[in-house]
Amino acid sequence: MGLEDDLRKCSPIELAALLSGEDMWTSRGNVRAAVPKFVMSDGPHGVRCAVGMASDLPGTECAKEATSFPCGVNLAMSWDPDLAKTVGAAMADQARALGVNVLLGPAVNIQRNPLCGRNFEYLSEDPQVSGRIGAGLVKGIQSRGIAACPKHFAVNSQELRRQASDSVVDERTLRELYLTAFELVVRLSGPLTMMTSYNQVNGVYSHENRHLLTDILRNEWGFDGMTMSDWGGSNTAVGAALAGGSLEMPSPGLTSLRELEAAFRAGTVTHDDLLARALEVAKVARETYYDVPGDAPDLMSRKKKLQIGDDLLDRGHSLAFDAAVQTLTLLKNDSVAPYGGNTLDDSSAGSSATPEPGATGDSTGDATGDTTGAAATTVPALPLRPGCRVAVVGDLAVHARFQGGGSSEVTTHRADTILDALDALAEQPRESSRLDGRAAGQPGHRFTVVGYADGYRRDGKPDAGKLHEATKLARRDDVDVVVAVVGLTEADESESVDRATMALPKAQDNLMGALAALRKRTGKPVVAVLVAGGPVELPWADDVDGLLYTGLAGEAAGAATAAVLAGDVNPSGHLAQTWPLTYADCPNAAWFPAPGPHAIYREGPFVGYRYFATAGRPVRFPFGFGLSYSRFTLSDLEVNQWGVACIVSNDSPVDGKAVVQLYVAAPTDGGPHVARELKGFAKVDVPAGGRREARIEFDEMTFRHFDAGDGAWHVTSGAWTVMVGTSCVDLPLSSLVHIHGDRSPHPTDPALGSLAYADVHHATADDVRAMFRLARTPLPGERGTAPDVEDAGGARTGKSFRATSGSATMPRPEHRNPEVNGENLVPNEDPKPFGPNVPLSSWTRADGRLARLFAGSLQRKASKPDQHGAPDMGALFVLNMPPRAMQKMAGGKVDRAIVDDLVDFANGHALRAAARLVHDVPANMWTNTLAANKLRRAGRR
């Protein structure tokens, strides 16, 4: 008998029980159907196996030691799916050691805006990079018998109001940009599970969005696995079961079971509906089952005792280093006067030509660098010169920061600091590991760290003393070069809160300004090391000689950074996102994050380089850009029916890795026209002085576009431009190809106005409406009214699945403007009376005094940082949570009736709410007892 036959023996109530979690991290099982329980753990870049497995809010528990691998933003900068696969397999090995069956990752949402709080987890602004790196992670994880869980499906682009926000995006942009990464992951790696997002997508919550879960994910892409809600993210159990939502997490107790059973009796949900969802859950349970050592009969008790062994942790740390060094991205490496104790001819080290800030035009050179200037008079700033004396400044050099905050935060076995790692390398003789061997046999050490100074306070507060100490150190006669480590801190990047600014803390900019002035007076080179999970404004970028971006590179980030600075490793990372000159340059700067219930993606497809390349706007560093200690040139482009090929030459004595990127420019097809789009890439190892062929194949996604008119993909006939290079603007090779498609080219619709060619800052509300109209996507004010759905769990009144409005009061950028050139695209909505889907942060304006006091206390708690400056994750999680989510998190202690009572308090009806609670709390307990007894009897049949 097969799994389906086993499940057909189960009663409807037993099937319904499988559709929600038993506790915070565990599913339910069924003995009669031989369906085991399975354990889940956060895991985008390492296993966060929580100690408080059954009760605590996600992101707040202590966790067992594991390896913190490079964050998603870093793995994407490797442009290497095979590396991602290796990291995924290592994470799965550690998950297995901890008794975990499902790893909740990777996070493949598109980086829509630089200020999104979880960009450090997300991979890229481009779906090809996100999808292919994400697929590599999934392949690696599942190669060890652990299920991967790509997330958050879909369009989860801001943290503000994340559980009560409607992502409104036109269907064409949705399909071509925001869903393509998930499609690639599904088609290339076959994930066993998929996590839905908190938000609504075009008016429907993701976990009950049939268009996403059934029409697209299952029917079009062929996904046959389990979908699970994000923690507390399910709106209704009935809506989920009907739409294709398999598992509600974490622990609604038996309240969801009661709702489903009532809907089954009413005929709203059929036995086949319950069976289909239960089959999806049970398949994961069986496919990820393995024996866990230990004698305790209880699954969780047994797994709580497990630990990762020291040998596995040591191997994990070694891999974390190997991965990190392939993600670090060299952004600037100018020629400087020779410094240090050795002035040998080092021109062959590859003095990299940094592009002019703001350059957007295609260049004829190679983005990985070209030697400029005579070797006798100049050397590249990096790697650090033999015999040089180094001053290190910056608190981030001694207090390691290598991951973001929130549910992805890993409790590490060890973590390297940049200063310690530089000291360790400085103690080694030069000949032990010089990059190119030219310094072999020279006396003394490769370099010396002569001093360190904080330079700034980590909390960002001004400190003239620390600044003075840093500049005093840098001025010393025995200092040849200054390495300044700056970046974002724990307070700046975390789940549950978006960044308030793209600027670095002012104290750090002051430090860099002081060092720039010193550099100008003395000629001492200044090398900046930037630690951050995403782009930052760099007003001093022209005033440093070298710039190494480390991202958030995992627990071995310090050692990896030192290895690149010292020249032990040749950097090969390339940016997976655009770095604007200023935040105001971003296409959606004026309306991100949306403060109200509707986040309208009014920029359409013009996100990241798609905007900057089309609009011709200057940037600090373009998408795909990265320098090297090698010098590469591309030549001999060949284009045929299967794809493209070119020759990569390494014109230096240094082995290196080149990232070759394929872009296409399409004929106009009537919709908003993007100048170019990435369609493939290859990372190529090229030995010193050698040549290698890079090949990138075409696939069904290379020339397609989505037509919302018939809901299908099409190919436009005509002349397409195929471009190959090393960034989205450095494309020295190109060719026209004539494609025979199924659609003729059409001029861009003039109704799009300024949106026709990415002039988003001047787009009117009519332009935005035209874009949505062409994509057959109604804006919120144009949607039909959804019928009220009677809550199957017995709520007193019918409730719409659609969220009512309400504005969270978390800190947000003052520049945000919810209007388009003075005109709102959504109707004005009064959040009162509050409903069950209004976030608790809105209760600061509640009519009920108790609700205001409660929300105010949460706000104060959330705004009080811990000793590291990080926000209170538990308070932030609850602030973003609507009352409805309490039911999904409370283990059965709260049902929909109690949720309505709590909302009554917020609406000022305290006496009525209190009277109803007196009835509803014991009624819920009694009804749960009856349901438990019924479930127990069903299991004995």
DSSP assignment of 531-572: E-SS----TTGGG-SEEEE--S--TTHHHHHHHHHHTSS---
Q: Give the pLDDT score at 413.
A: 83
Helix 81-97, helix 310-325: angle, nearest 10: 160
d(CA 502, CA 579): 10
pLDDT at position 383 over 50:
yes
- pLDDT at position 833: 87
Q: For residue 135, is it left (φ>0), alpha (ψ between -120 and 50) or beta?
A: alpha
Q: Tell me which range, 148-152, 248-252, 836-840, is most confidently predicted by mean pLDDT.
A: 148-152
Domain boundaries, the chain: 3-293, 331-570, 632-751
Whether residue 358 is predicted with pLDDT greater than 90 in this model: the reply is no
CATH number of 3-293: 3.20.20.300
Q: Which residues contact 292 (CB under 8 A, 6 or more apart)?
A: 99, 299, 302, 303, 306
pLDDT band, residue 821 (cuts 50/70/90): low
Task: Quote the pLDDT of residue 874.
Answer: 79
The residue from 93, 126, 166, 230 that is catalytic is 230
- Counting residues of the chain whose pLDDT is more than 90, the rounded percentage is 75
More confident residue, 651 or 365: 651
| pLDDT for residue 800 | 27
> What percentage of the chain exceeds 70 in pLDDT?
86
Provide the residue type at 831 as one letter.
P
The per-residue pLDDT for 791 is 31
Contact 390, 384 (CB under 8 A): yes
Tokens of 699: 């696939």
Mean pLDDT value across the chain = 88
Rounded CA gap, 847 and 831, in Å? 12
- Across the range 423-443, mean pLDDT stands at 49
* Whether 230 is catalytic: yes
What is the pTM for the complete model shown? Answer: 0.92
Cβ(496)–Cβ(406) under 8 Å?
yes
Tell me the C-alpha distance between 544 and 521, whole Å: 13
Query: What pLDDT sits at residue 373?
Result: 41
For the 331-570 domain, the top CATH level (class) is alpha beta
Q: Which class does domain 632-751 fall in? A: mainly beta
Q: Kindly tell me if the per-residue pLDDT of 902 is higher than 60.
A: yes
Residue 713: what pLDDT? 98
Three-state secondary structure call for residue 725 = strand
Residues 504-531: what's their mean pLDDT? 97
Stretch 241-247: mean pLDDT = 98
Grade residue 446 by pLDDT with cuts at 50, 70 and 90. Answer: confident
Structure-token match 């050795």, residue found? 342
Mean pLDDT of 224-229: 98
Cα separations in angstroms, 323 against 310, 347, 533: 20, 28, 16
Give yes or no for a contact between 536 and 325, defined as CB atoms under 8 angstroms apart. no
* Banded model confidence at residue 679, pLDDT cuts 50, 70, 90: very high
**Range of weakest confidence among 223-232, 240-249, 709-718, 799-808:** 799-808
pLDDT at 863: 78
| 911 has pLDDT over 70 | yes
pLDDT score at 347? 41
- Alpha-carbon separation of residue 674 from 517, 537, 567, 606, 618 (angstroms): 41, 25, 39, 7, 16
Q: Which amino acid is at 506?
A: K
Query: What average pLDDT does this structure show over 391-410?
Result: 89
Q: Whole-angstrom Cα distance, residue 507 to residue 512?
A: 9
Domains 331-570 and 632-751 belong to one CATH topology:
no
pLDDT > 90? residue 350: no
CB 705 within 8 A of CB 103: no
DSSP 336-359: E---SS-----GGGT---PPPTT-
Position 820 pLDDT exceeds 90: no
